[in-house]
Structure 1
Amino acid sequence: MAQIRFQNPQNPADSFFNALRVKVDTYFKKNKIKQTGDFRLYLKTIILFVGLALFYTILVFFTPENIWVSLGICSLMGINLAAIGFNVMHDGAHGSYSGKKWVNNLMGYVLNFLGGNVDIWKQKHNNNHHSFTNIEGMDDDIDLKPLMRVSPTQKKYWMHRFQHIYGLFLYGLTYLSWVFMADFKKYFTGKIADFTKTKKMTFKEHFFSVWFSKVFYVCLFIVLPIFMVGLLETVVGYLVMAFVTGLMIAIVFQLAHVVEDAH
Structure 2
Amino acid sequence: MSISLIQQKPAKVKPIFKKTDVDRFSKTLALKVESYFKETGKSKKGGKVVTIKTIFLLSLFCISYGLLLSNWFNPWGTFFIGLLFGLTHALIVFNIAHDASHNALFKNHRLNRILSYTFNLVGSNSYLWNLSHNKTHHSFPNIADFDPDIHQQAPLIRMSPSEPYRWYNRYQHWYATLLYLIFSIFLVFVKGLKEFFPSLKSKRWLGIDRPPFREYVILFFTKLIYFTYSLLIPLMVLDVTWQQFILGYLGIHFFLSLFLISVLIPVHLVDESEFGTVDQNGHLPDTWTVHIFKNTIDFSRKSKLANFLFGGLNTHIVHHIFPNICHVHYIALSEIIKTTAEEFQIDYHEESMWGAIVSHYKLLKKMGSNKMSDHILNPKMN
Q: Who is 2:85 aligned against? A: 77
Q: Who is 1:186 aligned against? A: 195
1:120 and 2:143 correspond:
no
TM-score, length of structure 1 as denominator length:
0.88
- Please state how far the C-alpha of 1:224 moved relative to its aligned partner: 0.9
Cα deviation code 1:18-47 (max 9, x no counterpart): 443333223222222211112222222222
Any idea what SS the aligned residue of 2:267 has? helix
1:245 and 2:266 correspond:
no
Q: Who is 2:207 aligned against? A: 197
Q: Is the 8 A contact 1:151 1:259 kept in 2?
A: no
Which 5+ residue runs of structure 1 have no aligned equivalent?
none
Instruction: Report how many aligned residue pairs link the two structures.
Output: 260
1:34 to 19, 40, 43: 43
- Structure number with greater CO (CA < 8 Å, separation at least 6) is 2
Q: Is the 8 A contact 1:139 1:193 kept in 2?
A: no
- Please state how far the C-alpha of 1:200 moved relative to its aligned partner: 5.1
The amino acid of 1:160's aligned partner reads N
The 5 Å alignment of 1:81-160 reads 81-143=89-151, 144-160=153-169
The amino acid of 2:85's aligned partner reads M
Of stretches 28-37 and 99-108 in structure 1, the one that deviates more from structure 2 is 28-37
- Please state how far the C-alpha of 1:247 moved relative to its aligned partner: 1.4
Q: Who is 2:34 aligned against? A: 25
Cα deviation code 1:145-203 (max 9, x no counterpart): 11111112212223223222221222221111111111111101274463543375443
Q: Hey, what's the Cα distance between the residues in 2 that align with 1:195 and 1:212?
A: 23
RMSD after superposition: 2.5
Cα deviation code 1:185-223 (max 9, x no counterpart): 11012744635433754433221x211001111111111
TM-score, length of structure 2 as denominator length:
0.62
Q: Hey, what's the Cα distance between the residues in 1 that align with 2:145 and 2:171?
A: 24
Cα deviation code 1:88-121 (max 9, x no counterpart): 1111111100000111111110000001110000
Q: Is the 8 A contact 1:150 1:259 kept in 2?
A: no
Of stretches 46-55 and 101-110 in structure 1, the one that deviates more from structure 2 is 46-55
1:173 and 2:188 correspond:
no
Of stretches 70-79 and 107-116 in structure 1, the one that deviates more from structure 2 is 70-79
- Please state how far the C-alpha of 1:257 moved relative to its aligned partner: 2.5
Q: Is the 8 A contact 2:87 2:256 kept in 1?
A: yes
The amino acid of 1:251's aligned partner reads S
Q: Hey, what's the Cα distance between the residues in 2 that align with 1:195 and 1:110?
A: 22
Q: Hey, what's the Cα distance between the residues in 2 that align with 1:199 and 1:247?
A: 33
